[in-house]
């Protein structure tokens, strides 16, 4: 028995889910951005549980996002990795974790981020999709060089 609660104990603050995905070790305060990446705004009926700014030995403060009845695409995982490089993705079935993986930052992301530079050729009526190189702590448009860091989630192309 320990006097101090562990990360597992703290996760119990957010209810367990039967089937779906748990995204853990999201930097504190970033959970709503994860929801934006997943295009979840509450209007489509998914059951979602969020824990925000939970004390964490690893991150100091972390967020947890639990989404019922949904498994993430590789594209969604790639984008989450950009704002939550230490995140883990847990696939839950019948209340058990059947698969646990760490996110891996891709070298490039294609057709998932809209370039915020209004003068970038990818924002014109041209037959080209956006493509960003992943750099230190953000992404960089391969066409116009614009670097996106802090407000990355705002430029995710959803739907």
The answer to the question of whether 115 is labelled as a binding residue is yes
Q: Which residues contact 37 (CB under 8 A, 6 or more apart)?
A: 76, 79, 80, 83, 153, 156, 158
Does 107 interact with other proteins (rule: CB under 8 A)? no
In the complex, the smallest distance separating the C-beta of residue 157 from other proteins, rounded to whole angstroms, is 17
Does 152 interact with other proteins (rule: CB under 8 A)? no
Does 145 interact with other proteins (rule: CB under 8 A)? yes
In the complex, the smallest distance separating the C-beta of residue 41 from other proteins, rounded to whole angstroms, is 30
Does 119 interact with other proteins (rule: CB under 8 A)? yes
According to DSSP, the β-strands at 138-141 and 88-93 are unpaired
Does 122 interact with other proteins (rule: CB under 8 A)? yes
The answer to the question of whether 86 is labelled as a binding residue is no
Q: Compute the half-sphere exposure of residue 130: CA atoms within 13 Å on the CB side of its CA.
A: 24
Residue list, annotated binding site for Zn(2+): 115, 120, 141, 144
């Amino acid at each position: 028995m320990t006097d101090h609660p562990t990360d597992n104990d703290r996760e119990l603050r957010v209810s367990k889910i039967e089937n779906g995905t748990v995204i853990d070790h999201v930097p504190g305060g970033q959970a709503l951005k994860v929801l934006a990446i997943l295009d979840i705004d509450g209007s489509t009926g998914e059951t979602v549980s969020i824990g925000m700014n939970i004390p964490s030995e690893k991150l100091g403060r972390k967020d947890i996002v639990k989404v019922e009845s949904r498994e993430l695409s590789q594209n969604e995982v790639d984008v989450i990795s950009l704002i939550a490089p230490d995140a883990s993705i847990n696939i839950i079935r019948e209340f058990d974790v059947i698969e646990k993986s760490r996110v891996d930052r891709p070298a490039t992301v294609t057709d998932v981020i809209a370039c915020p530079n209004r003068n970038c050729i990818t924002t014109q009526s041209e037959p080209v999709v956006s493509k960003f190189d992943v750099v230190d702590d953000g992404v960089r448009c391969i066409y116009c060089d614009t670097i996106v860091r802090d407000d990355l989630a705002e430029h995710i192309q959803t739907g």
